[in-house]
Structures are given as C-alpha cells and as structure tokens.
Chain A
Amino acid sequence: MTRFPARNKVPELTVFASLLRMTTKYGFSDIREALVEDLKGAYPTKWEDFETAKVLGENVFGSPKPHPKAVLNLFLEQRIKFALPFAAYRAGLGGPTTHAVGKPGPVIPRPTLVYIIHGMGRIRAMLIFIVQRVAYTWDLGACPKSACILNVCKRSAKRKIEALDMISEVLQDNGGDMLSSLQLSDSFCADCAEQLKYINRECREKVVWAELPCLLGWKGWEGF
C-alpha cells in the first residue's frame, strides 16, 4: 500500500508537458481542457480559492518536484493564462540571486524575468511601507499584559523600537512568502496575536494579492 496515493497518481511535470503539447497538436481538445482545469486548484485566481487551497503551485505535480521556473516556462509555452501570475510569483520567491546567470536550472525568458524581479521588489516595498505605518500608528508595542513579548511600556524607548521592528519584520517577510499566513509563537498574548493576524490577512488579501498580477507584468489574474 502506498502512503500517499494521490501524490503517486499525479503526473510529473515532463509527462504533463508532453500531454499538453500532444493534445494541443493533435486535436485532443477535451483532454487538454480537462488537464488545464485540474490546475486551477493549485494556481488559484481568486483570493477565496487561494485561502482554501490544499496544494499550491508546483507542489501539484508528481515527484520529482519541478522547479517553479520550469512550470512557469511551460505555462508560457502553452499559454495557460490564468496560471501565469501565480506561477510567476512562485518563480520569484527564491529572490533575485536565483536568477543569476550561471545558476543551474531553468531559465525564464528575459522580459518575464525583468518583471518578476522588479515586481517582487515593488510588492515587498509596498508591504514594508504599509506594515511600518500600521505598526507605529497603532502603537502595537504597548501591550499591557506582562506575559506578552510586546509589553514594553515600562522599558526603554530603544526596546520599544526593537519590538516595533520585530513586528514589521514578522508581518512583511513571513518566511519569504508574502502570501503565506502568519505563524506566531506563544510569546505574543492572544489579543496581540489576533491583531497581528488581522493585519497580516488584510495586507495579504488587499495589498499583495490585489497588486500581484499587475506588478509582475500581467494585466490581471487572467494573465496577459
């Protein structure tokens, strides 16, 4: 008995790519449409679908797990429009250094790559701006509860600024993935954790998700 039956059944990217190419070329349009439709679970175009998705991005393909850049290249080649913005975002998560010349792995076409590097930087800058304003405006570093890590009222101003910086960092760069939900440690009190999670959710949905396609060079969530 296999431990992960579903994972073993899905095709690896090379097989999936062959299926797409051949079904397109030889007129198996119904099979192609069904295969593309199956991708929608992992490449959502709506925030509600993203929040409830069980598997995201390249994780939908079988082992060996493909590189996000290889998946993006396939979607560009096959013009799978709806999946392009999210695939571009996944390809950009590694940061600019992963796209450097000479790095092993797939190479993204230059125009798309420029948008990804530029767009990811802009999304991050936007998030930093908003999160810092929120953190300082709402005085999040002034929790009255002694058990909370944000209880810095009676401490020095320097400690308070450090706490605010920590909040900013937690909110703006959540493990490098600006769309992933916030994972907070127990050192925050329930009220502060709730407040931070609320800010995180709002920023992800109304800032990052809303601006993502445009900043990565697509017209909207339906691609180009």
Chain B
Amino acid sequence: MDQELRELHTSWLQLNDEEERNSVAEAIEDREGEEEAATEIPAEVETPVAFTPQDLPATLNITIPSPILQGTERSPVSHDVEPSPDAFANDRITTVSSPTLSISTISDLTPTEFDEGIGEGIPTRHETFYLEDGNVEIVCGQTIFRVHSTVVSFSSPNLRDMLSSPTLFNTPTPGGCPRIVFNDSAEDFAVLLKMIYTPGWVVSLQSGFCELTR
C-alpha cells in the first residue's frame, strides 16, 4: 500500500506541468528579495547623539498645542501674541531628533502648566507606569511614562545608552525630570515596562504556554 501511494504521488507530480513548478521557484526567489527589503529589522537601536544648543537649526519645527497655554496663569512662556516656533526657540525649547528617538525639554514650563491642558493630541499620563518617584519621563505617542532610569537602564544596554545622554539630566524639564520621546507605540512600551518591573510576568506567560502545549 505504501508503494502504491508513493507511485501515485510521483505520478501526480509528473503530471503537473514542469513549467508551473519552475515558475513557483522563480517567484519564491523574487519574493525573497522583496521580503528581505520590506521586513528588515534594525539590529541595533540608534542612540541619541550628544546635543549642543549651537546644533539647533535656524528655525525649529515644533508644534505646541495651544490648549497647553490656555487657562493657565501667566508663565514665562505665555505670550500675548500667537506663539510661533521661533518664540519657543528663544525660550530654550530644545529638541534633538534621530530616526528612532528624540529628546525634548521645555525649560520654562512647570509640569502642571504642561499637563493641565490635557485634551486631544496632548500626551496623557499612563495609568500604571507614571510612577511619581520616577526620575525620567518617556513619551510614546500620546502617552507619558515616568520611570526610574536606573531600573530601566539596568535591564537593557540599549536603554542604558539612550538614558545616559549627558545633556539629558542637565536641563530643567516640565516634570522636574528629563523627558525623552521614543518612537515606540504606547502599548508596546507599556508591555516592555511591565516586563521590566514585574520579572515574574514573562515567566508566568511561558509557563502558560508550556501547560497549554505540552
């Protein structure tokens, strides 16, 4: 019976057009090229470059949503005229951008002034990982995380490099701590922080997989 099945299988394969099989092989090769180009994952995360104020371009493309400045008491950056990017540049708003990360500090805004005008398009605090005793704020999309730089740095060399920028801790910031903008989604970064702050969590996930599959 084995032999018969094998012969039938062979005969089916022979019946099929040889050209069709060749075209499949060619298409596989074509697709390999496409996929390699499309799904290339960077081996390393780029780290922020050292920032100096003279590196700033003549005009900064920074947009601060107007609700931030509305309803707050007059602060050093409250303007009687419509704020312009140049005006903010003069008020020592600094931004360094790289393909994967940007550092942003707004020197003269207090945390209350910055966060009170919460609305659409303004970052909001993450409900779990805005730790009041944290010493660095990380912004992902529209969500602000406040974490301990030592804890986060200890877990990953890549994060350590990002958080060890010399200018990061030297500049006064809205929350009283440095603020870094990451280009990760808030959901992804919350999962990363959960993994870092609750080491047993990933282990429990793995044990769940094991129970289910073995």
Query: Is A35 on the interface with B (CB-CB < 8 A)?
Result: yes
> Which residues of chain B are within 8 angstroms of A11 by Cβ–Cβ distance?
205, 208
Interface stretch, picked from B34-42, B61-69, B90-98, B104-112, is B34-42
- Chain A interface, DSSP helix/strand/loop, else mixed: helix
| Residue contact A38 to B2, C-beta cutoff 8 Å | no
> Which residues of chain A are within 8 angstroms of B8 by Cβ–Cβ distance?
129-130, 133-134
**Which residues of A approach B to under 8 Å, CB–CB?**
5-11, 14-15, 18-19, 21-28, 31, 34-35, 38-39, 41-42, 53-55, 60, 62, 76-79, 109, 111-112, 114-115, 126, 129-130, 133-134, 137, 198-199, 202-203, 206-207, 214-215, 217-219, 224
Q: Which of A19, A203, A219 has the most CB of B within 10 A?
A: A19
Point out the residue from B1, B12, B158, B189 that lies within 8 Å of A27, measured CB to CB.
B158
Q: How far is the CA of A137 from the CA of B7 in the complex (A)?
A: 13
> Which residues of chain B are within 8 angstroms of A38 by Cβ–Cβ distance?
206, 209-210, 213
Query: Is B56 on the interface with A (CB-CB < 8 A)?
Result: no
Q: Would A202 and B2 be within 8 Å (CB), given that A15-B191, A22-B184 are in contact? A: yes
The number of chain B residues with a CB under 8 A from chain A is: 49
Q: How far is the CA of A112 from the CA of B38 in the complex (A)?
A: 13
Interface stretch, picked from B25-33, B76-84, B141-149, B168-176, is B25-33
Minimum C-beta distance from B95 to chain A (A): 22
Give the number of residue pairs across the A-B interface with Cβ within 8 Å.
139
| Residue contact A60 to B12, C-beta cutoff 8 Å | no
> Which residues of chain B are within 8 angstroms of A15 by Cβ–Cβ distance?
191
Q: Mark B184-201, 1 if CB is under 8 A from A, else 0.
A: 110111111001000000
Query: Is B157 on the interface with A (CB-CB < 8 A)?
Result: yes
Q: How far is the CA of A215 from the CA of B206 in the complex (A)?
A: 33
Query: Is B212 on the interface with A (CB-CB < 8 A)?
Result: yes
Q: Would A224 and B1 be within 8 Å (CB), given that A38-B210, A77-B39 are in contact? A: no
Query: Is B54 on the interface with A (CB-CB < 8 A)?
Result: no
> Which residues of chain B are within 8 angstroms of A60 by Cβ–Cβ distance?
209, 212-213
> Which residues of chain A are within 8 angstroms of B32 by Cβ–Cβ distance?
224
Point out the residue from A8, A55, A207, A217 that lies within 8 Å of B28, measured CB to CB.
A217
Nearest B-chain residue to A14, judged by Cβ:
B187
| Residue contact A134 to B4, C-beta cutoff 8 Å | yes
Q: How far is the CA of A209 from the CA of B6 in the complex (A)?
A: 14
Nearest B-chain residue to A118, judged by Cβ:
B24
> Which residues of chain A are within 8 angstroms of B34 by Cβ–Cβ distance?
111
Nearest A-chain residue to B7, judged by Cβ:
A133
Q: Would A26 and B205 be within 8 Å (CB), given that A6-B211, A19-B191, A217-B24 are in contact? A: no
Q: How far is the CA of A207 from the CA of B11 in the complex (A)?
A: 12
| Residue contact A41 to B5, C-beta cutoff 8 Å | no
Q: How far is the CA of A19 from the CA of B212 in the complex (A)?
A: 19
Q: Would A35 and B212 be within 8 Å (CB), given that A21-B188, A25-B184, A206-B6 are in contact? A: no
Nearest B-chain residue to A10, judged by Cβ:
B208
